[in-house]
Amino acid sequence: MKRFWVLAAFIVGIVVCGLRRNLLAWWLELQLPLNRVQIKRGLMIPAQDGVGLCSDHYYPVAMAKCPTILIRSPYGRNSKLGPFGMLTEFSAFRFAERGYNVIVQDIRGRFDSKGDFEPFLHEREDALATFDWLRHQSWFDGQVGMWGPSYLGIVQWVVADDPLVKALIPGVTTSNLYDIIFPDGAFDLSLIMRWMSLLRYQDQLVGWFRQIAVMLYVERDVRPSFDHLPIIQSDEAMREGKISYYRRWINSMRDDPVISNQLRTIDHNKVDAPIHLIGGWYDFFLRGMLKDYAALRAAGQTPYLTVGPWRHVSNLFLMPTMLKPGIDWFDTQLKHQPERLRPNPVRIYVMGADEWRDYPDYPPPSDPQTLYLQSGNCLGTQSMDAVPSRYCYDPKHPTPSLGGAQFSLWAGPRDNRKLEARPDVLFFTTDPLAQPVEIIGNVRCELYFRSSSEFTDFCVRLCDVHSDGHSINICDGFIRVEPGKCELHKDGSLRAQIDFWATACRFLTGHRIRLLVSSSAHPRWARHTNTANPLTDTVVRVAEQTIYHDINHPSALVLPVMDIK
């Protein structure tokens, strides 16, 4: 009997191994694979200056010519280079099985590619050199598609205007990098420190177990840098020491107009390739991605848009979630199979309702609903007279960022009650809702205030307060205050309109809507020193903040409310 079960297990193993590609297709909801795949590894594609860009070529054995998918990555091109490389290799196999050549390439200065790594600066010229190499390959049919999340999407945008590019699917990314690194005029310290540390540990850590734990190593490395002043020298406080290119890179972005314009400017009118944008409501690229969508629509295009309840890291390490929309998009655009395309271009996930919705455009039509800040920490539909609310913001003990759109394992929705208990955080809450309220689009806040410092910040956060008291963050807004930036009220107070990042959420019956107000969300937006040069100053000043909410100063939260049928 024992031999029987051993033999049975052996036979089942053989069957599963033989059907593994079909089982993967079923799991990922893909069409069945059509081709066997072979790989040519370690190809050195010459850049314009002769630097070798190391690449792997995945190709369907039975096809002489077919479209090419180009994936360029700083995180490793195959499984030998770590978990991210494994996911990239896994994805490349799935594309090749369905009739595509796939080139996966280490970008300049990363892993097996030669040259020096300088973030973002060589990506266009190196991609164009790769296109030149493709033109001379016998298996190339003249069509290029590009795919991938984050940096793998950035390298798509920089060549989106090239006529060889016939389809793009950039995920959790944007064409405007400057506003990602300096969101709302502040510096995203958490993003840059963690990202640089991630690249360093990918180079240093040996062994799969340590590679899997890379983000934990990153957290240990960057924690000291968040407390360091001046902020421009924060890399010096990292446990593993300063980053060689950091200061040069950041200063060039701030001071070199050519480089800053390269990071800001993509002419969407010159982009002819069909684009499918994929993002997440808790992704720090979200605002930029939605601006790309709007710019493409204004240029007369019909981009596709998918936004899920994802945060950045979750979607990075779940690259297979981008496979089905990627294959459908490339089959439609490169193989002319329009039946693979969904009818409506926009698909978004509505949190709270926990369902996907399809729309012809984004944002869908909504009606603004205004909720005024009132006395007693209340939000209501009428503006009432009330004494101002006050708090003290001390940069030595900045209000921390909790969850939200960070580059962190702990990004996304979190319980905010610990944050709300701080003395430097105000909150205003509605009564329990008698019926559901659903919002889709951009939230905004009109804030009347006064500060003892002419240079300071204000952060606002929208929360969904559950019936058990959990206060879950939905989206955030931020403004950096400086002389002349805000509207001067007749009594000397200031008025600011703060745009939140977009969301799609249903507040359920019995839940409450809450607005938080503070002056810091460090290190998501690097803390303000309340001085003229927060990036370079080492001196900090305490700011006394006053928030007005009365009939003459109607501070309010404005929600894009949907009609629930």
Q: What are the residue ranges spanned by the domains of the chain? A: 1-30, 33-176+273-294+302-362, 177-265, 367-561
pLDDT at 258: 61
Q: Is a pLDDT exceeding 60 seen at residue 12?
A: no
At residue 19 the predicted structure's pLDDT band, cuts being 50, 70 and 90, is low
Close Cβ partners of 67 (under 8 Å, ≥ 6 residues apart):
99, 100, 101, 141, 143, 144, 145, 166, 330, 334, 335
Say whether 367-561 and 33-176+273-294+302-362 share the same fold.
no
Q: Is a pLDDT exceeding 70 seen at residue 18?
A: no
At residue 15 the predicted structure's pLDDT band, cuts being 50, 70 and 90, is very low
Mean pLDDT of all residues in the chain?
A: 92
Q: At what angle do helices 83-97 and 20-28 cross, to 10 degrees?
A: 100
| Chain centroid offset of residue 133 CA | 31
Q: Is a pLDDT exceeding 60 seen at residue 6?
A: no
487-520 tens-digit pLDDT: 998 899 999 999 999 999 999 999 999 999 999 9
Q: Is a pLDDT exceeding 70 seen at residue 560?
A: yes
Euclidean distance between CA atoms 287 and 498, whole angstroms = 14
Looking at domain 33-176+273-294+302-362, which CATH architecture does it have?
Answer: 3-Layer(aba) Sandwich (3.40)
At residue 248 the predicted structure's pLDDT band, cuts being 50, 70 and 90, is confident
What is the three-class DSSP state of 499? strand
CA atoms within 13 A on the CB side of 276: 25
The closest of 408, 409, 515, 499 to 461, measured between CA atoms, is: 515
- The DSSP 8-state label assigned to residue 107 in this structure reads P
Q: Is a pLDDT exceeding 60 seen at residue 315?
A: no
Length of the chain: 565
pLDDT at 347: 98
| Chain centroid offset of residue 537 CA | 29
Query: Residue 473 belongs to what H/E stretch?
Result: strand 471-481
339-376 tens-digit pLDDT: 989 999 999 999 999 999 999 999 999 999 999 999 99
Largest CA distance in the chain: 92
Residue with tokens 């204000």: 458
- The share of the chain scoring above pLDDT 90, in percent, equals 80
Query: Lowest-confidence range among 14-18, 440-444, 539-543?
Result: 14-18
At residue 414 the predicted structure's pLDDT band, cuts being 50, 70 and 90, is very high
Q: At what angle do helices 189-204 and 214-222 cross, to 10 degrees?
A: 130
Per-residue burial over 212-239, b = 16 or more CB atoms within 10 Å of its CB, e = otherwise: eebbebbeebbeebbebbebbbbbebbe
274-292 tens-digit pLDDT: 999 999 999 999 999 999 9
Domain 367-561 fold is Jelly Rolls (2.60.120)
